[in-house]
């Protein structure tokens, strides 16, 4: 169910939302502490002054609140990346987007097993609006994270957005007179989209009313709003407020619309606000990599200098290959090999890998800065080999340290042939 006036209409927003192309590759790199504090030169986007203490890194599996630095539609101020989809924070509404594959063939991993392109995804959008509230409250992020998020999408770096600020909380200042709403990213292990609470005048909490659009049924269960969207349930906590008193009630106001009276609870929400890691394993960066069609990432390896090598499959003619790379032209659907720097905000090299038919890179290893890639091909002209003899054959290649040429290529199936590069 799509709601009119959805804020996400720009091409870049649709790529990130990816109702069809949800398979844009996301590169996550985890580090073991201690981690060095990011330098000030890494902050590419103007943001509020940082605190005196070093910002922590995000826990694996925790939600992230990502600032809009141009990678989303201009109506979006922040996006919460977490379980089950994306939550979009705008001035006058909160949008919750859920995605679901149209068929079992689109389930995660199905494309790899069947060699087929991804099918369409269905999306449901729930809009949350506070009735009688300030239509344009000031939005203030807080609790910055040292985790880096970058969007390397498209063939030209002028379309990229790197080192986008990441936060743990966003405050809607004076949503109601003297009352602020604070939205927090969920903690690791939480199945909730976010946590939220009211701060300020306790006597102002009685004015809080919530309107829901895009919901088939709505009910309150154990301090949760349980919303049926047609693509499954969305579970939201009631808003934490010391001034909660009136019992929550839900009234249907339209075919897919409800008003929630006093959507509040005095019970503290587990994991509110989201906490970040100070020791142990943490997310150093998360990078979106791809073009205007779809990508799958299957293999990743890291080098001693912290750079990351990634392989997978792409159908994007504008996949961000680098000048001088081994192969800069898409044939059908190709494997790709990309090397990212240690911050995940720049490509050292990126190349297509394959012939005139379908090619997929499944795994990758690194030695002496040379990338060893294994995968599958149906191309009779796969480089430096005899190619596929029909159907799909396995391949293995060794790419040189600059990504500009192959040291050797090998295919095998009914027959095996290996050739060395120059």
Q: Which residues of 203-225 are buried (b: 16+ CB within 10 A; e: fewer)?
A: ebbbbbbbbbbbbeebebeeebb
Residue 177, phi then psi, degrees to nearest 5: -55, 115
Which pLDDT score is estimated for 267? 75
Contact criterion met (CB below 8 Å) for 129 and 210 = yes
164 forms bridges with which residues in the sheet?
A: 149
Q: What is the 3-state secondary structure (H, E, C) of 102-169?
A: CCHHHCCCHHHHHCCCCCCEEEEEEEEEECCCCCCCEEEEEEECCCEEEEEECCCHHHCEEEECEEEE
Give the predicted TM-score (pTM) of the model: 0.82
The predicted pLDDT at position 160 comes to 95
Sheet of 416-420: strand order equals 359-367, 370-377, 393-399, 406-412, 416-420
Predicted pLDDT at 41: 31
| Nearest to 92, CA basis, from 135, 139, 140, 141 | 135
Alpha carbon distance 336, 310 (integer Å): 8
Angstrom CA distances, 315 to 1, 247, 348, 360, stand at 28, 52, 21, 11
Q: What is the DSSP letter of 15?
A: H
Is cis: bond before 34, omega within 30 of 0? Answer: yes
The C-alpha atoms of residue 89 and residue 167 are separated, in whole angstroms, by 13
Nearest one of 391, 394, 399 to 417, comparing CA atoms: 394
pLDDT tens string for the chain (422 positions)?
A: 344 445 544 333 444 444 333 345 566 666 544 433 333 333 333 445 544 566 888 888 889 999 999 999 999 999 999 876 899 999 999 999 987 766 544 444 555 545 555 556 678 899 999 999 999 999 999 999 999 899 999 988 889 999 999 999 999 999 999 999 999 999 888 888 999 999 998 777 888 999 999 999 999 998 999 999 988 899 999 999 987 777 899 999 999 999 999 999 987 765 545 455 555 688 889 999 999 999 999 999 999 999 999 999 999 999 999 999 999 999 989 999 999 999 999 999 999 999 999 999 999 999 999 999 999 999 988 887 655 556 788 999 999 999 999 999 888 875 544 445 54
Cα 139 from Cα 345, distance rounded (Å): 27
Query: Which tokens hold the place of 422?
Result: 């120059």
**Cα-Cα-Cα-Cα dihedral of 341, 343, 346, 352, to 10°?**
50
Helix (H, G, I), strand (E, B) or coil at 110: helix
Answer for the pair 368, 347: CB distance below 8 angstroms, yes or no: no
The C-alpha atoms of residue 180 and residue 138 are separated, in whole angstroms, by 10
pLDDT at 401 (0 to 100):
96
> Scanning the structure block, which residue is given the tokens 């580090």?
31
């Amino acid at each position: 169910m799509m709601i009119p006036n959805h804020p996400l209409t720009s091409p870049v927003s649709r790529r990130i939302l990816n109702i069809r192309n949800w398979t844009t590759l996301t590169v996550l790199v985890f580090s073991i502490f201690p981690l060095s504090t990011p330098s000030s030169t890494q902050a590419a986007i103007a943001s509020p002054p940082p605190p005196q203490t070093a910002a922590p890194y995000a826990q694996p599996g925790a939600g992230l609140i990502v600032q809009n630095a141009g990678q989303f539609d201009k109506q979006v101020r922040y996006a919460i990346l977490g379980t089950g989809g994306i939550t979009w924070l705008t001035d006058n509404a909160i949008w919750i987007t859920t995605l679901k594959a149209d068929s079992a063939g689109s389930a995660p991993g199905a494309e790899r097993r069947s060699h087929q392109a991804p099918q369409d995804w269905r999306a449901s959008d729930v809009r949350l609006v506070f009735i009688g509230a300030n239509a344009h409250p000031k939005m203030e992020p807080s609790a910055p994270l040292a985790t880096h998020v970058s969007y390397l999408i498209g063939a030209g770096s002028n379309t990229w957005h790197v080192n986008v600020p990441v936060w743990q909380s966003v405050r809607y200042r004076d949503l109601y007179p003297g009352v602020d709403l604070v939205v927090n990213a969920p903690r690791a292990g939480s199945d909730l989209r976010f946590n939220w609470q009211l701060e300020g005048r306790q006597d102002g909490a009685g004015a809080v009313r919530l309107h829901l659009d895009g919901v088939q049924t709505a009910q309150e269960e154990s301090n949760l709003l349980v919303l049926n969207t047609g693509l499954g349930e969305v579970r939201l906590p009631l808003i934490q407020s010391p001034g909660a008193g009136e019992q929550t009630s839900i009234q249907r106001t339209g075919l897919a619309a409800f008003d929630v009276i006093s959507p509040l609870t005095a019970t503290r929400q587990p994991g509110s606000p989201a906490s970040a890691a100070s020791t142990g394993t943490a997310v150093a960066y998360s990078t979106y990599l791809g073009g205007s069609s779809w990508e799958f990432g299957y293999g990743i390896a890291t080098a001693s200098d912290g750079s990351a090598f990634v392989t997978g499959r792409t159908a994007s003619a504008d996949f961000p290959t680098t000048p001088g790379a081994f192969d800069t032209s898409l044939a059908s659907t190709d494997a790709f090999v990309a090397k990212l720097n240690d911050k995940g905000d720049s490509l050292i090299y990126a190349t297509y890998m394959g012939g005139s038919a379908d090619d997929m890179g499944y795994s990758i290893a690194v030695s002496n800065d040379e990338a060893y890639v294994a995968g599958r091909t149906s191309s009779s002209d796969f480089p430096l080999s005899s190619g596929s003899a029909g159907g799909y054959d396995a391949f293995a290649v060794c790419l040189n340290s600059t990504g500009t040429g192959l040291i050797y290529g090998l295919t095998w199936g009914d027959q095996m042939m290996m050739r060395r590069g120059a």
